[in-house]
Structure 1
């Protein structure tokens, strides 16, 4: 129990620090979101009065008051789920934009991350168990794809599979021209899967090599431990030694990396989503940065921070259940 209380206490402090940093950083950036909107209104020929500026300051969370007062108002808004108003899509709420983009990213990047982790760890386990096999010799090839620039790999796949061989569409999240409405209908799910296959393939190809290499090296190290030798001396089946004794301990470091990967699923893959024009969080963040939409940037960064902390907390708890030695050292 002490182990879990320590972990929860640490993440509560980390959550407060993330929220505070998320409040401070936008206020240290040059520029003012109110000035951005007023400039757009002036360019469109709309009249801008002092009352208009004051109303925008209130709407966007700016205006007067000390930094402490603004911080208190910021915490109160968070407690009510108010992340502010987007400048790019004014007057749409930031929470609405994030809620629209988040399912796309979780479906694409989340599923691709899980697939690459399962395949990478599974193949790495067999590569470490059968050292010198063809699978073991294949690892340098897979790690080469990990070293290739992400955008370059995405562009190569787009060229080969959408232009040279027209197998997949090159952009979008679903077939807009077919009149489909986002939902759980069979037609929409099939279209979204078809459009998301190529971006997902890019993520899997570029990340599977790291999981394979890490698991393979940990398997080789674990197989030299005394308890593995003892298990083999007792005459246990090779499959049981491989799964129960070797793989269970070798996978522990990969779980920590997997937690970070799951946390950053919410962040999306900015390059992949931009190359494929995929309507996820990554593209939303790119648009926010390009247009100096501070409220939207702040909201996206906060969601990313919360997801990373939550994923790490879950895996730390599971880590203690899988390996009791971590609880003993706490």
Structure 2
């Protein structure tokens, strides 16, 4: 019980620190969102009118007062669930803007993360079990090489080759002709548009799981309990799955939970390249437009998602591995 209480306490303290940093960091950015919007409306070469800037600031509801007063107002707004209006998509509330982008990111990045984890741990476990063979060398060296390739570069290659040259897949957007809704036509159209972004993410996403699982399982294969299992005459399949792979999988649980928690952040570069209507592209727009309410809320969602996922992983770790609870006591 002490183990779980300490983990929950750390979660609450980290959450408060994250909320505070989420308030401070956007306000450290140079520039004024009201000036950015007035400049867009007036034109790049037009001199800004201070009265127009003040009017825009009042219309956007930009925070005023001291930093402490803004912080107190920020905490009160969070307690009410009021995240303000988006500067970029004025006058729509931030929650409505994010609500339209979340399903796209959850489907695209969430599915690719799950597939990457399953593919990665499977290949890593088999490569460790077949270590020093040709399969192990191909997987290890191939993963190391592919891991050096940036995802946005892969996305650009896919977009050019399969989008513009061959014309097999759409080059932008999340859907085209189908009417949005839970119908077969729209789902098929959305899946068709998500092929290239998903492949761009899946090329490099399993690399960390492959190398991490392989290295951990190789160390576990040298433990005494593996020798004892083999001495008992257990089949290789049982030794590999129930003894070596099961224990090697435990460190990956935390990493997988954090990866799932970070799904809400999407992939800024990949989603921007394909103009995919997800959270990553939304964050890029919020940064470029100094949209403080939208940026703060996006960062808060990501932070809370990662913290909650990490807390769940810690609690599961205590359940799956009794040694963690004994070490805490």
TM-score for the superposition, normalised by structure 2: 0.91
Deviation at 1:118, TM superposition (A): 0.3
Match of 2:130 in 1: 130
CA change 1:49–1:187 in 2 (3 A) is closer
Shift of the 237–309 alpha-carbon distance from structure 1 to 2, 3 Å rule, reads same
Q: How does 1:274-313 map to 2 (within 5 A)?
A: 274-313=272-311
Shift of 1:48: 4.9
The answer to whether the 8 A contact 1:38-1:48 is kept is: no
CA gap of 1:76–1:210, structure 2 versus 1, over 3 A, is same
How far does residue 37 in structure 1 lie from its aligned partner after superposition? 4.3
Question: 5 Å matches for 1:73-84?
Answer: 73-84=73-84
Aligned length: 324
Q: Distance in 2 between matches of 1:183 and 1:329?
A: 51
Alpha-carbon distance between aligned partners in 2 of 1:3 and 1:192, rounded to the nearest angstrom: 44
Shift of 1:38: 4.9
1:171 CA displacement: 1.5
Alignment check: 8 A CA contact 2:220 2:247 kept:
yes
Q: Using the TM superposition, give the Cα deviation of residue 316 of structure 1 relative to its aligned residue in structure 2, in angstroms.
A: 1.1
Aligned partner of 1:159 in structure 2 is 160
Residue 86 of structure 1 aligns to a residue in which SS?
Answer: coil
Task: Find the counterpart in structure 2 of residue 182 from structure 1.
Answer: 180
Q: Deviations over 1:224-254 (max 9, x none)?
A: 1000101111122221111111001111222
Matching residue of 1:56: 59
What aligned pairs does 1:224-235 form with structure 2 within 5 A after superposition? 224-235=222-233
Q: Aligned partners of 2:37 and 2:215: how far apart in 1?
A: 54
When residues 203 and 324 of structure 1 are mapped into structure 2, their CA distance, relative to the original with a 3 A threshold, is same
Gaps of 5+ in 1: none
CA distance in 1 between counterparts of 2:64 and 2:102 reads 30
Task: Name which of structure 1's ranges 9-18 and 158-167 shifts more when overlaid on structure 2.
Answer: 158-167
Inter-partner Cα distance in structure 2 for 1:311 and 1:50: 42
Residue 295 (structure 1) shift: 1.9
Aligned-partner Cα distance in 2 for 1:30–1:328: 49
Q: How far 1:189 moved relative to its partner?
A: 1.0
**Higher mean C-alpha displacement, 31-40 vs 216-225:** 31-40
1:256 Cα deviation (Å)?
2.1
Change (3 A) 1:329 1:39: same
Q: Once the 2 structures are TM-superposed, how far is the Cα of residue 29 of structure 1 from its aligned partner?
A: 2.6
**Preserved contact between residue 42 and residue 48 of structure 1 (Cα < 8 Å):** no
Unaligned runs of 5+ in 2: none
Residue in 2 that maps onto 1:262: 260
Question: Structure 1-normalised TM-score?
Answer: 0.91
Match of 2:269 among 268, 271, 284: 271
Deviation of 1:86 after TM superposition, in Å, equals 1.3
Question: For each residue in 1:175-222, what CA deviation from the matched residue of structure 2 results, as whole angstroms up to 9, or x when unmatched?
Answer: 2xx2x2322211111111111111111111112222111111111111
1:112 aligns with 2:99: no
Q: Which residue of 1 aligns with 2:92?
A: 92
Against the structure 1 CA distance between its residues 69 and 325, is the aligned structure 2 distance closer, same or farther, given a 3 Å change threshold?
same
Whether the 8 Å CA contact 2:34–2:53 is kept in 1: the answer is no
Shift of 1:112: 0.3
Distance in 1 separating the partners of 2:53 and 2:266: 40
Q: Distance in 1 between matches of 2:100 and 2:81?
A: 15
Give the RMSD, CA atoms, in angstroms.
2.3
CA pair 50-203 structure 1, distance change in 2 beyond 3 A: closer
8 Å Cα contact 1:54-1:63 kept in structure 2: no
Alignment partners' CA distance in 1, 2:96 and 2:299: 15
How many Å apart are 1:166 and its aligned residue? 2.9
Cα separation, partners in 2 of 1:37 and 1:322, compared to 1, 3 Å: same
- Counterpart check, 1:15 vs 2:18: no
